[in-house]
């Protein structure tokens, strides 16, 4: 495919947004701006993160590597600022204006004295007012952390700005539960999604003023819980009009055929109350079972939907600005999320530790006039590690050898059916030896657990809710073996870490 010279790249990432929370696929939710982006581009229906957890997924966006290669495998790990591969650094060296906007979360945000993203450093207002970058290879940075009313959510650049605006921090932040939902009384003009869009637009203008193309990674903090949102969004959706999230018919009875942590979660309700019965599993990650009634479940979902609509409006402001400044036609735009949200489906909340699509599948829209097929819905497999090489190919830049994604540009252009035979999702909840891998081929889904005789196998198309675990079923032994070997081959072909491999692959070559 013939590419224009030096396109702008706008990479927008939501936090904990389900794949089915786009108006283009779910008429109950209002996302007119994302819908118009999908109408002039391609909506990829089978996009997955390298892991369904915030920090390691975001670290993979910096490095183009799976978490097991870059090493930051869970939320209490850290990606070194001087990591040898950085998408931002590559584009900055090529003359791009590189801008990291919004939520970072590349180091722990709780009680790590070495992290710039935890307290008390995040509340050092003068330091953050003075700091403009670089940040993980991006020359310019406007950073935030946390979600809605969390105490650390008024930190970093966003927090310093709130203080400058005279916002009463003690009134609007802190004193919350992770499971809270409802109205957030913070005035809308001070909301982090509004601030993130403001800073993204300012960066686009700065790049234009300097005559540079831009790479802007815009990270919204919503709709991650606590599900609190200002009016009119908090009451925009009628909870009774939203189909109830919760156990599917046959659940939790089918958990008897699943690995033990499913039963541990179901039997021990409460936010992070469950204790794993598997001695190798030192914690339950970021998933739990809440003993909520229908009113609570649907009320939370209505607020979650409101958060998505607020986010959509801010994305719309950025899109409108590109059009108003004549840059829309030369901008490659990707919208996605770092992972999904169980939102009560299967009796579970939040994400991680389970292979349900609600947790490990993400929305994905790509648009680039003249280069990406318009109004198309693609079922091709995509892993978010593919964005690093795809962005490099779009800009005509070399791809680092240690990058582990594949180039998706031909798929997006409609000239190639798929760039992947399989898609792999990793997870390691904390520092213990418990490891999980999910491998999918578009029809089947296999879940492998290291050093365990249990596993999961589902005919994903016929059994999307994972009610019938076929692991160990002689009738499906060939499929189980085939996917296990595909996973082994994937692991053997991973490129990092390898300190001696510093070369680059030519920009025109697609690699696995």
What is 204-250 written as a DSSP string?
HHHHHHTT--EEEEEE--TTPSSEEE-TTGGGSS-GGGSPPPSPPTT
- The span from the CA of 27 to the CA of 24, in Å, is 7
Dihedral, 195, 201, 203, 209 alpha carbons, nearest 10: -150
Tokens of 196: 């993130």
Average pLDDT for 154-180: 95
The yes-or-no verdict on residue 282 having pLDDT over 80 is no
Instruction: Check whether 501 has a pLDDT greater than 90.
Output: no
The DSSP line for 152-215 is GGG-HHHHHHHHHTT--HHHHSSS--TT-EEE--S-GGG-HHHHHHHHHHHHHHHHHHTT--EE
pLDDT of residue 124: 96
Would you put residue 426 in left (φ > 0), alpha (ψ -120 to 50) or beta? beta
SS3 call for 253: helix
Give residue 210's pLDDT band: very low, low, confident or very high (50, 70, 90).
very high
- The structure tokens listed for 178 are 């992770």
Q: Is the pLDDT of residue 503 over 50?
A: no
Tokens of 465: 């809710």
pLDDT in tens, 7-51: 999 999 999 999 999 999 999 999 999 999 999 999 999 999 999
Sign of the alpha-carbon dihedral angle for 85, 87, 92, 93 = positive
Domains, the chain, ordered by start: 8-424 (3.40.720.10)
Question: Would you give the DSSP letter of residue 121?
Answer: G
Between CA 265 and CA 196 the distance in angstroms is: 35
Mean pLDDT over 484-494 rounds to 95
Note whether 331 and 368 are within 8 A (CB).
Answer: yes
Average pLDDT over the chain, rounded to an integer: 93
Q: What is the pLDDT of residue 177?
A: 87
Q: What is the mean pLDDT of residues 93-98?
A: 98
* Long-range contact pairs involving 248-251 (C-beta distance under 8 Å, separation at least 24): 248/345, 248/346, 248/465, 248/467, 250/465, 250/467, 251/346, 251/347, 251/465, 251/467
The string of pLDDT tens digits covering residues 59-79 is: 999 999 999 999 999 888 889
> Residues with Cβ < 8 Å from 36, sequence gap 6 or more?
319
Q: What is the pLDDT of residue 512?
A: 35
- In DSSP terms, 457 is beta-bridged to 446
**Beta-bridge mates of residue 440:** 423, 445
pLDDT at 4: 62
Ramachandran angles phi, psi of 205, nearest 5°: -70, -40
Question: What are the C-alpha distances in Å from 338 to residues 209, 230, 453?
Answer: 31, 23, 30
Asked if residue 362 lies in contact with residue 78, where contact means CB atoms within 8 angstroms, the answer is no
Q: Bridge-partner residues for 100, per DSSP?
A: 141, 217
In angstroms, the CA 72 to CA 81 distance is: 12
Look-up: residue for tokens 């330091």? 127
CA 109, 112, 115, 119 torsion-angle sign: positive
247 C-beta neighbours (distance < 10 Å), count: 18
pLDDT score for 502: 39
Q: Which two tokens stand for residue 1?
A: 């495919």
**How far, in Å, CA of 49 to CA of 385, rounded?**
7
Q: Helices in 355-413 by DSSP H: which ranges? A: 357-360, 387-395, 409-413
Structure pTM? 0.95
pLDDT tens sequence across 339-393: 999 999 999 999 999 999 999 999 999 999 999 999 999 999 999 999 999 999 9
Q: Residue 427's beta-bridge partner residues?
A: 436
Structure-token pair, residue 169: 């921090």
pLDDT score at 486: 98
Q: What is the pLDDT of residue 497?
A: 57
**Both tokens assigned to 266:** 């179901």
Cis status of the peptide bond prior to 184, with omega within 30 of 0: no
**pLDDT of 424 over the 50 cut:** yes
- The residue among 453, 451, 455, 512 whose CA lies nearest residue 483 is 455
Q: Which residues contact 264 (CB under 8 A, 6 or more apart)?
A: 274, 275, 276, 277, 284
Element housing 383 (H / E): strand 376-383
What pLDDT score was predicted for residue 380? Answer: 98
pLDDT tens digits, residue range 213-240?
999 999 999 999 999 999 999 999 999 9
How far apart are the C-alpha atoms of 142 and 202, rounded to whole Å?
10
What six digits make up the tokens of 252?
A: 């939790």
Q: In degrees rounded to 5, what are phi and psi of residue 109?
A: -105, 15
Tokens of 35: 């819908």
């Amino acid at each position: 495919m013939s590419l224009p010279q030096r396109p702008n790249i706008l990479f927008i990432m939501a936090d904990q947004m389900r794949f089915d929370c786009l108006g283009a696929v779910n008429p109950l939710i209002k996302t007119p701006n994302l819908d118009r982006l999908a109408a002039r581009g391609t909506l990829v229906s089978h996009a997955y993160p390298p892991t369904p957890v915030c920090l390691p997924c975001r670290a993979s966006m910096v490095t183009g590597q799976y978490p097991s290669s870059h090493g930051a495998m869970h939320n209490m790990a850290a990606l070194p600022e001087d990591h040898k591969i950085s998408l931002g650094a590559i584009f900055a060296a090529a003359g791009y204006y590189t801008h990291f906007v919004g939520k970072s979360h590349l180091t722990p945000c709780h009680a790590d004295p070495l992290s710039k993203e935890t307290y008390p450093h995040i509340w050092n207002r003068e330091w953050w007012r003075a700091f403009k970058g670089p940040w993980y290879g991006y020359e310019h940075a406007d950073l935030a952390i946390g979600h809605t009313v969390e105490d650390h959510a008024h930190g970093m650049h966003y927090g310093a700005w709130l203080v400058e605006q005279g916002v009463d921090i003690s009134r609007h932040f802190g004193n919350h539960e992770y499971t809270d939902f409802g109205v957030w009384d913070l005035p809308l003009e001070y909301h982090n999604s509004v601030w993130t869009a403001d800073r993204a637009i300012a960066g686009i203008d700065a790049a234009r003023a300097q005559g540079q193309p831009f790479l802007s990674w815009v990270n919204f903090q919503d709709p991650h819980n606590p599900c609190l949102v200002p009016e009119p969004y908090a009451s925009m959706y009628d909870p009774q009009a939203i189909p109830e999230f919760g156990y599917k018919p046959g659940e939790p009875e089918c958990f008897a055929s699943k690995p033990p942590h499913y039963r541990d979660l179901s039997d021990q309700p409460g936010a992070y109350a469950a204790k794993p019965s598997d001695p190798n599993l030192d914690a339950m990650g970021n998933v739990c079972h809440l003993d909520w009634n229908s009113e609570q479940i649907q009320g939370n979902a209505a607020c979650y939907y409101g958060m998505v609509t607020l986010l959509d409006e801010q994305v719309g402001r950025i899109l409108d600005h590109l059009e108003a400044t004549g840059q829309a036609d030369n901008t490659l735009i990707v919208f996605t999320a770092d992972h999904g949200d169980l939102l009560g489906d299967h009796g579970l909340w939040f994400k991680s530790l389970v292979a349900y699509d609600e947790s490990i599948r993400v929305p994905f829209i790509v648009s680039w006039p003249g280069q990406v097929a318009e109004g198309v819905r693609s079922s091709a497999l995509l892993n978010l590690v593919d964005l690093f090489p795809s962005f490099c190919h779009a800009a005509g830049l070399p791809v680092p050898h240690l990058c582990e994604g594949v180039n998706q540009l031909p798929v997006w252009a409609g000239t190639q059916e798929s760039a992947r035979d399989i898609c792999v999702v990793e997870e390691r909840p904390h520092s213990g030896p418990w490891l999980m891998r999910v491998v999918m081929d578009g029809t089947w889904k296999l879940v492998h657990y290291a050093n365990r005789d249990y596993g999961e196998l589902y005919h994903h198309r016929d059994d999307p809710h994972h009610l019938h675990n076929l692991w160990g079923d002689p009738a499906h032994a060939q499929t189980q073996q085939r996917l296990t070997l595909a996973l082994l081959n994937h692991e053997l072909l991973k490129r990092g870490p390898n300190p001696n491999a510093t070369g680059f692959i030519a920009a025109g070559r697609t690699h696995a």
